[in-house]
């Protein structure tokens, strides 16, 4: 089996940069700010493969570049370098023009036009943010939030969109009779589940989960995690799970990458990362777990 | 089927000033297809470490772990890429830990059913039937099947743990003290299950606290010290 998405050397630098940025930042220097030019290396040379029906975890402290990575992959921020490619089998039907003849992988997605990037995002990606205000329009009805996304993915029939919204809200345990209410009326856990419903609406291939359970109380957190676990196998999704909570990662992910100061310091099987951590920082992280 | 050559594992604890701990050194043995090998040795000798290195929960420091896999031929588990280790774990290799480690809020029946459903290509109904049957054999009371194993007694948890690991009939099974917290009746049931599994062709490597029992079930023993 080949990976559905291939990421190589993904980097993001804020600031003008100089030739000493990369050598003077990172976990060994314990900083991601270049002392010579003041640029911030938020994420440097991140490479990984993501397969079908697989959850890859990304752990690290705040400021380690986890969320930056997600934002680059979701085309919210422009990357400074690197490549992101999709496998033909998953993307050809929606975006045939991305593939050169005979190529198994698409052209580098980071070089596409803003319109093409939106197309890729709308048809293949879903994202759930830690803060529901980023993923939802709080004043617009929950059904309307989902319809917005469906419109982006090319849906046009109002009845069909309502039906799809109802189906997804039911799946995420939001009472369907409340679909016309705006998310601002909902509790934090419900808002998170509306976000998940919205992210799933276009049948994405890849779902980015950015600290989705952080800040939720324990029982709500448990229900959100149960939901994520069941949708992963049901929809055959590839998940990229960003969290600083090793318990969440252990529950959801088979493989994990550990980030620190914008670099991946260690990657491996989740049970190996937790029981036989190699890097100094990972050992500290695991030893600090309650 | 499995050949371990000069396997060593050291832990370097960076947070303790790079303290180095040697867990096992130069362990070598071979298990033929369908064989049952026992690992013996005093507590702390590195028996569990060897099993974890085979399962790749630990990264071996040096040495080889050659495994004749059914789907991808002869592989070295010590250096196999993560994805391929996951594939082998999913298709062929099972592991029974000393203690039950399961996802919270999943019922005992689901814990046992899930691997059957994911691996044996049977219907939900059939998987449920097999799981129920197995738990009944292991004397888990019927009214506990839909309860969460985290609330069970130690012995019950261990039996669920064994059911979870053997339910899908792995090709290679690693057992880390599977009978440690069981009463003698339960031990007999577990041994009978393992015997059946062997007859179906499963190769096993096990650690048993009880040396008498180990000599009874295994066909060779390697001492680790």
Kindly determine whether residue A283 and residue B14, on different chains, have CB atoms separated by under 8 Å: yes
Instruction: pLDDT band for A166, please (50, 70, 90 cuts).
Output: very high
Per-residue pLDDT band for A238 (boundaries 50, 70, 90) equals very high
Non-local (6+) Cβ contacts of A235 within 8 A are A200, A203
Q: Is the pLDDT of residue B71 over 90?
A: no
What order do you get walking across the sheet with A263-269 strand by strand? A125-128, A206-210, A238-242, A55-59, A255-260, A263-269
d(CA B81, CA A106): 24
Query: Looking at residue A154, what is its pLDDT?
Result: 86
| CATH code at B2-92+170-223 | 3.40.50.300
Compute the average pLDDT of residues B83-94: 93
Longest dimension (CA), chain B: 54
Tell me: pLDDT of A139 over 80: yes
User: Between chains, do A269 and B104 touch, taking CB under 8 Å as contact?
Assistant: no
pLDDT in tens, A5-33: 999 999 999 998 888 888 888 888 888 89
* Cα atoms in the 13 Å half-sphere on the side-chain side of A1: 15
From CA A87, how far away is CA A2, in angstroms rounded?
8
The mean pLDDT value for B100-113 works out to: 85
Contact residues for A285 (Cβ-Cβ < 8 A; gap 6+): A59, A61, A246, A258, A277
When pLDDT is averaged across residues A66-88 and rounded to a whole number, the result is 94
* Closest CB to B15 among A272, A278, A287: A287
CB contact A2 to B (< 8 Å): no
β-strand A40-50 against A5-14: which pairing, if any? antiparallel
Chain B neighbors of A220, CB-CB under 8 A? none
Give the tokens for residue B210.
């009880």
The CATH superfamily holding the domain A5-287 is P-loop containing nucleotide triphosphate hydrolases (3.40.50.300)
Contact A287 B86 (CB under 8 A): no
Q: Taking residues A193-209, what's their average pLDDT?
A: 91
**Residue at token pair 């055959």:** A236
Domain boundaries, chain A: 5-287
Quote the pLDDT of residue A277. 95
Maximum mean pLDDT: which of A107-116, A219-228, B206-215: A107-116
* Cα–Cα distances in angstroms (integers) from residue A211 to residues A264, A283, B53, in the given order: 18, 21, 32
Interface of B with A (CB under 8 A): 11, 13-15, 52, 56-59, 82-83, 85-86, 103-105
Backbone angles phi, psi at B217, to 5 degrees: -90, -30
Average pLDDT over residues B146-153: 91
Q: Rounded to the nearest 5°, which phi and psi values hold at B52?
A: -70, -30
Does A268 sit within 8 Å of B104, measured CB to CB?
Answer: no
Q: Does A56 contact chain B (CB < 8 Å)?
A: no
Can you tell me the distance from the alpha carbon of A286 to that of A273, in angstroms, rounded to the nearest whole number?
8
The mean pLDDT value for B19-46 works out to 93
Using the beta-carbon criterion (under 8 Å), do B52 and A255 form an inter-chain contact? no
Question: Which chain B residues contact residue A276 at CB under 8 A?
Answer: 11, 52, 57-59
CB proximity A272 to B under 8 Å? yes
Residue written as token pair 């890859």: A56
Q: How confident is the model at residue B136 (pLDDT cuts 50, 70, 90)?
A: very high
The answer, yes or no, to whether ipTM is higher than 0.85 is yes
State chain B's mean pLDDT as an integer.
Answer: 91
For residue A23, report the phi and psi dihedrals to the nearest 5 degrees.
Answer: -80, -20
> B40 pairs with which residues across the strands?
B223
Q: Tell me which residue in A268, A278, A279 faces B82 most closely, judged by beta carbons.
A: A268
Q: In chain B, which residues have their Cβ closer than 8 Å to the Cβ of A255?
A: 82-83, 86
Report pLDDT digits (tens) over A22-68.
888 888 888 889 999 999 999 999 999 999 989 999 999 888 999 99
Give tens-digit pLDDT for A125-134.
999 998 999 9
Q: What is the pLDDT of residues A88-123, one digit of tens each?
A: 988 888 888 889 988 999 999 999 999 999 999 998
């Amino acid at each position: 089996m080949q990976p559905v998405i291939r990421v190589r050397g993904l980097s993001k630098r804020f600031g003008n940069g100089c030739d000493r940025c990369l050598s003077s930042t990172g976990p060994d220097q314990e900083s991601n700010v270049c002392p010579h030019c003041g640029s911030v290396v938020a994420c440097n040379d991140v490479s990984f493969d993501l397969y079908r029906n697989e959850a890859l975890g990304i752990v690290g402290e705040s400021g380690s570049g986890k969320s930056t990575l997600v934002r680059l992959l979701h085309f919210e921020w422009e990357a400074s370098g690197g490549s992101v490619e999709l496998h033909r089998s998953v993307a050809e039907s929606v975006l045939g023009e991305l593939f050169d003849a005979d190529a198994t992988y698409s052209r580098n997605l980071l070089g596409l036009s803003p319109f093409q990037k939106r197309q890729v995002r709308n048809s293949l990606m879903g994202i759930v943010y830690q803060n529901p205000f980023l993923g939802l329009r709080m004043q617009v009805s929950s059904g309307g939030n989902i319809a917005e996304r469906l419109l982006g993915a090319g849906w046009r029939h109002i009845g069909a969109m309502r039906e799809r919204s109802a189906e997804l809200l039911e799946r995420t345990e939001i009472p369907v009779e409340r679909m016309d209410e705006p998310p601002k009326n909902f509790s934090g856990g419900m808002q998170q589940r509306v976000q998940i419903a919205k992210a799933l609406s276009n049948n994405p291939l890849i779902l980015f989960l950015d600290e989705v359970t952080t800040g939720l109380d324990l029982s709500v957190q448990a229900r959100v995690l149960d939901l994520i676990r069941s949708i992963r196998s049901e929809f055959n999704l590839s998940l990229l799970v960003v969290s600083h909570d090793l318990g969440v990662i252990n529950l959801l992910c088979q493989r994990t990458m550990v980030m620190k100061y914008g670099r991946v310091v260690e990657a491996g099987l989740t049970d190996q990362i937790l029981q036989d951590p190699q890097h100094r920082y990972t050992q500290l992280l695991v030893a600090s777990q309650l | 089927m499995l050949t371990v050559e000069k396997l060593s594992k050291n832990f370097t604890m960076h947070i303790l000033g790079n303290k180095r701990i040697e867990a096992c050194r130069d362990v070598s043995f071979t298990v033929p297809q369908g064989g049952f090998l026992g690992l013996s040795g005093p507590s702390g000798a590195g028996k569990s470490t060897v099993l974890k290195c085979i399962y790749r929960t630990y990264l071996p420091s040096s040495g080889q772990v050659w495994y004749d896999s059914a789907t991808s031929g002869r592989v070295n588990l010590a250096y196999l890429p993560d994805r391929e280790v996951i594939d082998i774990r999913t298709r062929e290799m099972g592991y029974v830990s000393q203690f039950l480690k399961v996802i919270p809020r999943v019922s005992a029946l689901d814990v046992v059913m899930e691997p059957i459903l994911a691996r044996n290509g049977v219907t939900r109904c059939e998987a449920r039937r097999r799981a129920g049957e197995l738990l009944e054999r292991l004397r888990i009371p019927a009214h506990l099947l839909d309860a969460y194993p985290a609330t069970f007694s130690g012995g019950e948890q261990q039996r669920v743990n064994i059911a979870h690991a053997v339910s899908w009939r792995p090709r290679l099974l690693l057992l880390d003290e599977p009978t440690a917290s069981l009463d003698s009746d339960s031990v007999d049931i577990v041994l009978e299950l393992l015997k059946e599994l062997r007859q179906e062709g499963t190769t096993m490597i096990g650690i048993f606290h009880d040396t008498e029992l180990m000599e009874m079930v295994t066909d060779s023993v390697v001492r680790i010290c």
